[in-house]
Structure 1
Amino acid sequence: MGGGLLQLVAYGAQDIYLTGNPQITFFKIVYRRHTNFSMECIRQTISGSATASDTYITTGSIIISRNGDLLSQIYVKADQETTSGINGDYLIEDVEIEIGGQRIDKQYREWNQIWTELITPSSKAEGFKYMTGGFNNTLVTGGLSVKGGTSQQAIMYPLQFWFCRNIGLALPLIALQYHDVKLKINWGSGAAGSGMSRSGSNAVTPSFEVWCDYIYLDTDERRRFAQVSHEYLIEQLQLQKEGSSRENFKLNFDHPIKELIWTVPTSSTEADTIISQKMKLEINGHDRFAFQDREYFQIKQPYIHHTSIPGYNIKELENPRMLTYPIELLQNVNVSDSSPDPGEVWIGAESSDISVITLGSATSGESTPKVGDILLIAVSNEAASGTTGSKTGVHTVTGLTSTTVFNVTPGLPETTNEDNVSMSIIARVQNPQSRCSQLSRDIFVYSFSLNPEDHQPSGTCNFSRIESAKFLLDSSGTISNIYAVNYNVLRIMSGMGGLAYAI
């Protein structure tokens, strides 16, 4: 008897719980037939402004055309600017959706950056960043026709409303005969240094397009959608703007909330951000949980409840990451053969070798060499004797007084303190970067839900029934914005739509 047959007959009482009275087989695939449908992407007409300004915020509005039966995804498109480049993160400052003149939801630039950081899997992160023009490089300089320039023609930024993220929540335009669906968009600023310009040095004024994905239903299903009433469980976003430094942040939210997300400024000063402070949530005077370090909210909560951990939350890497723009520390300074003066690096002249002795005091603005940095060091001989030559070496920082010795070009005389040295940081271990955007803020998460990305509810806290909710810190810190994701019900009947619970 073969081993496979032995496995078949090795059947005991415990196997009854696994294979007794079987209900499925792995060896006959089962599928279900679906209703007939088709999809099409159609450009919308923008009223008001469809162009960014380099001096003020412009506004555009769109009444969604009734080209199809259902509305699913919405994209904002702009041609890639070929001199300075466009960063899609900053195309939209905020966007609001109305049905029949009633605001249903409003979303913001920072929220779109946060949400894509949390829900985009690693396999799609680079592609999303490319699609939205989020790379921070200089490939755009010189235009598409120049060798080495970017080949990107356009950038597309998806909106994140409830019906955009779940095809089962596609908005039934066919059932809204008497109510229009309207978008109100505040476009981002194209001013130099505003963020929309990838180079940062030049203003950009791109023109925008809005595209919608429509679904066409077959006759029977189309008739059902038009005639019956609909109730959709939808998600909405609430925003509470902060910005001051304190220990107590009152939460002014309503409705059943499944998740709280907040951002903090980037700063090295404790009171201006959250570094070592511990946090907790207090509800009606009772602790929801004990004080927790920031890693609980930045790493553990996203790890458990979301697809991905925001890239900027990860402060250290296993291996150094190359910098897009090297940080220049020294430029044509003399070699030192004694202890360095304040603000200098000791590049010791030791016979025919170069020795990096002390790094702790080297600065470039706010940049100081850190453990794990890789330094590029160039030595050029400009001694009075007229001897010329040069040497380039790489130094890995293993401590603030670490030493690396590398030989100068063979045949050159020993290095003297007349020789010029340039040094830059070219790679870092401590170089946090967002995965899908250019957001440079820590993202904190606390979820009441087991799976907050799913439409199926898996836990909420009804803030409408709570008298007092607060974030407490054990010492003063600063929170920029607090977001709450809540459930609501959208009712559509008799050709009109509205919320069951007011916002």
Structure 2
Amino acid sequence: MAGGLLQLVAYGAQDIYLTGNPQITFFKIVYRRHTNFSMESILQTISGNSQLNSKNNVNGSVIVSRNGDLLHKVYVMSDTIGIMDGLDIINEVEIEIGGQLIDRHTKEWNQIWSELTLPESKVLGYKNMIGTMNHGLNQTGLYGVNMVQIPIHFWFCRNPGLSLPLIALQYHEVQLNFTFGSSVGTTANVDVYCDYFYLDTDERRRFAQVSHEYLIEQLQIQKCNDLSDVKLNLNHPVKEIIWTSDNDYGEAQLKLNGHDRFSKQRQEHFQLRQPYDYHTAIPGYNIPLKDATEFLTTPIDTNIRKNIYAGAIDDQDIYNTGGTYRAMWLSIHIDSMDQLVEKVVSIHTTYIRYSSTSLQEDIPFRIGDIINIVITPGTINDDIPYQMVSMHRVNNIIDNVIHFQPSIPNFPQDGLYPRDPDAGGAGLDTTTDLMDNVYVYIIGRLEERKSRCSTLNKKINCYSFSLNPEEHQPSGTCNFSRIDTARLLTTNPLTSEDNIYAINYNILRIMSGMGGLAYSN
């Protein structure tokens, strides 16, 4: 009997829970027919200022045209080549329906949302799209992208099932109010594009005639004001609280009506575990160190210059001629003097030891650094007239001792290689040979703290009441309208530059050609 058939007949009582009375098959695809529709992106007319100002914020507004039946995505675009960070274009954006403020987003919130929700497969394309390549160090047009495209993240922009039914708002206008930022550094013009859905006749008639109730998401924003005990002025069912932090605040806890909502947790709980459990990605700036080495554009000179005693030696003095660093010892072992005659010397550096631990903060090395030890033509009984280079990685730093991996595999510089293959040389046969002109450079360093897809240089902290806070489907909330007192407590104060954000649910009712919120603050 074939193994596959044996598996089929090996059927027991437990299998009834898995395959008894089957309801689906994996071998006949099922699909559902949808209503007929089409999509189009249309340029909007901006009232007020549509030109950026490099010195002051400027305001512009868009009354959304009724070109289509449903409003979906909104993009702000600029074709300038001078932009360093496209998200600087939008300092703030609001949406009003019939003159009532429905939601408001800020530049920082757009950065937070992209850091938490953008999958890694889209990060590079998104950074090109919004113009933040090289962490905002390059102007957009300098790397081939001459237009920035900034997505807006209101509730109707993220889900086609929540598209705003303009066809049902005959008596209320939908207005977008923009505050364009001055830090963008250019005076270019901006455009606003809206994506519309066009419905077929029957569905269009239904949307226009019946009333609608949409479960929407809103954003609440509050400043921290240099406090370690922040009273939260929140309303409505909240599914997640997010706050930014410039500094290390130690521990945090949330108290509702004087009772612990959760016990004190270290900041890493909110910066690493919560995003890991409940979001698509962990914000890049939350990660203290990346597990990848970047080669530095400009190597770091450690100011080690001369006086290495070479040969089969250990623990000999290195002195810095510049006086920036203290006396150090470099432990070197040269495997074979015969190799020198063959124009290849293998050097195994094991550690550098500083003579003093009191000034340890001046030590330039970090764990993971890739260093070059360069021996230039100098005085070793005039025996080495050519340059040699050795590459190593810093494995550990304990007190004032910097431990190296003896050599880095798969690097062409592994060991010491003569610059001049025809140069002569004799063996280093004593421990008294003095080698001048030794240079130690740091040429690579582990990636430091840096955001994933924005230029936000703050840590993002999350606490979710929901199982899936990125999804529209509710999966847990806390109704702050029914909470008398809510406080966020931290060991160290949050700064005045830090903000608290809460994502809440509300009901948008549309009837008789008008729209408004069911619940106000």
With the length of structure 2 as denominator, give the TM-score of the two structures: 0.81
1:34 aligns with 2:34: yes
Q: Deviations over 1:366-416 (max 9, x none)?
A: x94321122356666699x99986555544223343266864746599886
For the structure 1 residues 463 and 220, does the alpha-carbon distance in structure 2 shift closer, same or farther, using more than 3 Å as the test? Answer: same
Asked if the contact 1:78–1:207 (Cα under 8 Å) also holds between the matched residues in 2, the reply is yes
Partner residue of 1:19?
19
Q: Deviations over 1:169-191 (max 9, x none)?
A: 0000111111111111111224x
**Which amino acid is 2:156 matched to?**
F
1:232-381 mapped onto 2 (5 Å cutoff):
232-244=214-226, 246-265=227-246, 273-274=247-248, 277-322=250-295, 325-326=297-298, 328-329=300-301, 334-335=305-306, 338-339=318-319, 341=323, 343=325, 346=328, 357-358=352-353, 368-376=364-372
Counterpart pick for 1:158 among 151, 157, 165: 151
Q: Deviations over 1:183-217 (max 9, x none)?
A: 11111224xxxxx3xxxxxx433321111111000
Report the CA distance between 1:439 and its aligned residue.
Answer: 1.3
**Which amino acid is 1:274 matched to?**
D
**Which amino acid is 2:491 matched to?**
D
Tell me which moved more, 442-451 or 335-344. 335-344
Counterpart pick for 2:396 among 395, 399, 406: 399
Whole-angstrom CA distance in 2 between matches of 1:96 and 1:175: 21
Tell me which moved more, 120-129 or 277-286. 120-129
How many residues are matched? 469
Whole-angstrom CA distance in 1 between matches of 2:65 and 2:188: 24
Report the CA distance between 1:258 and its aligned residue.
Answer: 0.4
1:491 aligns with 2:464: no
Q: Deviations over 1:403-445 (max 9, x none)?
A: 668647465998865x48473453215x122222121211110
Counterpart pick for 2:101 among 93, 100, 103: 103
For the structure 1 residues 97 and 326, does the alpha-carbon distance in structure 2 shift closer, same or farther, using more than 3 Å as the test? Answer: farther
Whole-angstrom CA distance in 2 between matches of 1:25 and 1:49: 58
Tell me which moved more, 388-397 or 352-361. 352-361
What root-mean-square deviation, in Å, do the aligned CA atoms of Structure 1 and Structure 2 show?
Answer: 3.2
Asked if the contact 1:72–1:213 (Cα under 8 Å) also holds between the matched residues in 2, the reply is yes
Report the CA distance between 1:6 and its aligned residue.
Answer: 3.0
Whole-angstrom CA distance in 2 between matches of 1:103 and 1:69: 22
For the structure 1 residues 45 and 424, does the alpha-carbon distance in structure 2 shift closer, same or farther, using more than 3 Å as the test? Answer: farther
Asked if the contact 2:369–2:442 (Cα under 8 Å) also holds between the matched residues in 1, the reply is no
Give the % identical residues: 49
Report the CA distance between 1:335 and its aligned residue.
Answer: 3.5
Computing the radius of gyration from Cα coordinates, the structure with the larger value is 2
Asked if the contact 1:86–1:204 (Cα under 8 Å) also holds between the matched residues in 2, the reply is no
Partner residue of 2:519?
501
Partner residue of 2:115?
117
Q: Deviations over 1:440-469 (max 9, x none)?
A: 211110000111111111111111111111
Whole-angstrom CA distance in 2 between matches of 1:284 and 1:138: 44
Q: Deviations over 1:332-373 (max 9, x none)?
A: x74465455454685969899897735796989xx9432112
The unaligned stretches of length 5 or more in structure 2 are 308-316, 335-344, 407-414, 426-432
Asked if the contact 1:174–1:226 (Cα under 8 Å) also holds between the matched residues in 2, the reply is yes
Whole-angstrom CA distance in 2 between matches of 1:435 and 1:327: 24
For the structure 1 residues 477 and 163, does the alpha-carbon distance in structure 2 shift closer, same or farther, using more than 3 Å as the test? Answer: closer
The unaligned stretches of length 5 or more in structure 1 are 191-195, 197-202, 266-272
1:439 aligns with 2:434: no
1:173 aligns with 2:166: yes
Whole-angstrom CA distance in 2 between matches of 1:476 and 1:412: 66
Asked if the contact 2:248–2:492 (Cα under 8 Å) also holds between the matched residues in 1, the reply is no
Asked if the contact 1:354–1:415 (Cα under 8 Å) also holds between the matched residues in 2, the reply is no
Whole-angstrom CA distance in 1 between matches of 2:394 and 2:87: 34
For the structure 1 residues 379 and 107, does the alpha-carbon distance in structure 2 shift closer, same or farther, using more than 3 Å as the test? Answer: farther
Report the CA distance between 1:17 and its aligned residue.
Answer: 1.9
For the structure 1 residues 395 and 466, does the alpha-carbon distance in structure 2 shift closer, same or farther, using more than 3 Å as the test? Answer: same
Partner residue of 1:223?
205
For the structure 1 residues 45 and 469, does the alpha-carbon distance in structure 2 shift closer, same or farther, using more than 3 Å as the test? Answer: same
Report the CA distance between 1:329 and its aligned residue.
Answer: 4.5
Report the CA distance between 1:490 and its aligned residue.
Answer: 0.6
Aligned residue for 1:258, secondary structure, equals strand
